[in-house]
Amino acid sequence: MSHVRPLIAGNWKMNGLSADVDSIADLAARFEERVPATRVAICPPATLLMEMSRRLAGRGVEFGAQDCRMESAGAFTGDLSPEMLADAGAHLVILGHSERRAYHRETDADVAAKVGGALRAGLEPIVCVGEDESQRDAGRAVEVVTSQVRGSLPSALGGKPFCVAYEPVWAIGSGRTPTVDQISEVHRAIRRELLELFGESGRQPPILYGGSVKPQNAGEVFSAAEVGGALVGGASLLARDFGAIIEAF
């Protein structure tokens, strides 16, 4: 198990308007006391980062972005640099989410380059990996995930704060979750890979589980080996559900 604090991060995806910032203020009030033991983060759409981080500064909740470009500035219409996201109050950034890999054709090499940009700007990356259903059915889950870990994590990460999120594509938004044994198997394989890539410092990064985490299954998910927190999509949009997941850790 990692020696650093577990992280429960909410991935709002393309959801949320300024009116929704209030729900996070309520959540922060509820968790102010627990925050030292468990890190709690919200990754809202970039449009809300600045308002959320300003309103909730010093309240223990951290903020993250959902993607970034690797460059710091330039002619990239519509994109955001890691420096801009840090300036808007982000401390973390999700990279290589399967929705980015699928809809924007991001490769492991693209993700590794973005990780480099995130480090330059002082952002802590949450790097996502996970097999799709046909890969799992073919018995290739561990092979696919470890290859993504190798390809998406540049050596520059050694000794730096970062997280890996194991998110089986077939479990995202589907209401289906792997068994505890399946989660344990993949998380142990990721830890072995981190130790191989980064030596002893590979013991530190929390390995989050993501994919249909709900208040009803959080306790079971968190009982799996090497689970150092969660990346929560749909259930993070409801402060009550997200709060219950945090409490389950």
For residues 118-157, which are near ligand PGA according to CB under 6 A?
Answer: none
Q: Go through 148-158 and write b for each residue having 16 or more CB atoms within 10 A of its CB, e for each that does not.
A: bbebbbbeebe
Residue nearest to ligand PGA (CB): 233
6 lies in the site for ligand PGA, by CB under 6 A: no
Catalytic residue among 167, 185, 193, 226: 167
64 lies in the site for ligand PGA, by CB under 6 A: no
d(CA 69, CA 33): 35
Catalytic residue among 62, 83, 97, 124: 97
d(CA 127, CA 3): 19
232 lies in the site for ligand PGA, by CB under 6 A: yes
Question: Which CB sits closer to ligand PGA, 110 or 167?
Answer: 167
Give me the helices (H) in 78-204, please. 82-87, 98-103, 108-120, 133-137, 141-152, 180-198
For residues 26-55, which are near ligand PGA according to CB under 6 A?
Answer: none
d(CA 88, CA 164): 23
The answer to whether residue 97 is catalytic is yes
Sign of the CA dihedral running 218, 220, 221, 226: positive
For residues 208-227, which are near ligand PGA according to CB under 6 A?
Answer: 210-213
Active site residues: 97, 167
Binding site for ligand PGA (CB under 6 A): 11, 167, 172-173, 210-213, 231-235
